[in-house]
Structure 1
């Protein structure tokens, strides 16, 4: 039994090379290749397309910082994090020019010839670069996407040999964009801490000195969109995640009360969702939601996702405020290195958050 368990423990920081879905879509096939078909997964829940009774919460950052509206908006933020784990953030403070430029660079990168994109391809033992994620066997079902994944902050973690020099402005645009997302993240976690009645400055400082990763994803048109998954159902292991839609094509879905709710893009908004670190810190008050991406028959979709982590010096565990009155901690306390090691070296058939529960 121990041998079987060991065999099922995988190094998820490696990824096998996979075909480009974009190149496959260019060929305009009439049917999806068998390795992408997920009939049993796509139809596993009723899909709810954002009815008025089940609308994704909308949070206004301006109201979170305005003394006249702060208390009411903090209550709305608290409810969104507790009951949804995901919301759309408006008036977030990120510069419009930075967002426009990053969207443009994303399009220009994916418009490059395949061989040019592959110059920034993933290397053995790393998820960074152009490719896919978490492909660990030749028999594994594949997601309908191409992506480029880069660690951006702090500066010393960057692997610049994987940062595209073509398009010519990609690097400087990504650097500026990462700084904008750091500002949004630190402001947002400060508000979350206030909503939880925690020490806001300490948590904000942890994300100011934190780690940031950016994944730019392309979901090409698909001849059988009802049979594939853009990104498989998962919850994020970050603190929070910030997603920028590059157009108005819906695709992101969040699991709410057993139903998949489509997140309809809102012009100028950033989608924010709770990651496992924030769930752990809140001792389960906030939830990291399962979410996934679907694809379109006729149109491509692009998104830019920033995974935001606290400083690597911060221990990951329930905040002391939630356990000092006798309430038991629900999760283990780990160093960042231990937490990361557990995430990337685990069995895929066991929920990561369940592994961390006491």
Structure 2
């Protein structure tokens, strides 16, 4: 995809810093004052919670109430939680158990799977290749799911013995089904045919990947972030949050809303590609992750994206003389290079594309 080959400096695992017992974090993780968790007020609000019980099959979407609720959430918040989503709670428990086990393996066992910025696939600890960048307080494991040509099962960890590649594969298949159902609802909410977004993503050639996030305990959580403020560059994101402890925050105006995870629910948000396709009818929204000194956190972000080389542009049906196209055509490959190089930077990428 490009010439990015390796990290610009040695990678330090955040988990090893946490386990060292240090009472102060290295300067590389100290955020500027304006970006620290206490830099902006927090609003006592909750993102919408939507019951998808009527959509828990692969048939046609015929529930106007769900379409209205999802469409309203994407126009107003860019985020919502879903319950009764069709993914078995026992599978959710298994995926949490096996990946929790991985991150507690000895470091030398995990290092076998160390990643590079060429594909990000594997065990990682930073996003972006900018030398000297201020880093986030978190480790992760990145996996390709679709297209199948990128799905390298040998790069999926087979350790410890309880970590079953089959569990991760089953989880991916079930969340993919949920993504496809949500895409239908989003399309209908725009007043378009239910397969509009799926076709715009390349139909059966749409892409998908997953990042398992591990946020270790932090001795100075008021000075850093587990993941800096950003909007997701892809299509839609389905997040399985850690429901034992809060960490995800969503921007609401000038304030941050701390998401209260519902047990076994998924948190879904609009990415920049859907904002472009909807001509900003649906909004991708900045979000970030805070850490704490008492508890580690584990979450699973599943990204459903357009086929990487397709040009993405506002839907012609949504472009009028009163509402002209806000964005030029651009492939997802071109777009995500920004994140690959710079790391998370608010909404600076998608906003920079807007026609003046």
| TM-score normalised over the length of structure 1 | 0.88
Supply the RMSD in Å over aligned alpha carbons. Answer: 2.6
| Match of residue 88 from structure 1 | 81
Which sits farther off after the overlay, 16-25 or 176-185?
Answer: 16-25
State whether residues 280 and 317 of structure 1, in contact with CA within 8 Å, keep that contact through their aligned partners in structure 2.
yes
CA distance in 2, matches of 1:176, 1:13: 31
Counterpart position of 1:128: 121
The question of 1:192 aligning with 2:186 is answered: yes
Question: What aligned pairs does 1:163-312 form with structure 2 within 5 A after superposition?
Answer: 163-168=156-161, 169-204=163-198, 206=201, 208-312=204-308
After TM superposition, the score normalised by the length of structure 2 is: 0.88
| Cα pair 2:130 2:341 within 8 Å, conserved | no
* Runs of at least 5 residues in structure 2 that lack an aligned partner in the other structure: none
| Equivalent pair of 2:228/2:344 in contact (CA under 8 Å) | no
Per the TM alignment, residue 13 of structure 1 is displaced from its structure 2 partner at its CA by 7.8
More helix by share: 1
Q: In structure 1, the residue corresponding to 2:222 is in which secondary structure?
A: helix
Q: Deviations over 1:11-58 (max 9, x none)?
A: 77854442111111112212222221125111331123xx2xx21111
Say if 1:118 and 1:72 are closer, same or farther in 2 by CA, change over 3 A. Answer: same
* Runs of 5+ consecutive residues of structure 1 not aligned to the other structure: 1-9
Contact 1:61 1:89 in 2 (8 A): yes
Distance in 2 (alpha carbons) for counterparts of 1:324 and 1:295? 44
SS in 2 for 1:285: coil
Contact preservation (8 Å) 1:218, 1:302: yes
Residue in structure 2 matched with residue 3 of structure 1 by the alignment? none
Alignment of 1:352 onto 2:345 = no
Show the counterpart of 1:45: 40
Alpha-carbon spacing, 1:330–1:110, altered in 2? closer, same or farther (3 Å) = same
**Aligned residue-pair number:** 345
Once the two structures are overlaid, the 10-residue window that deviates more, 135-144 or 262-271, is 135-144
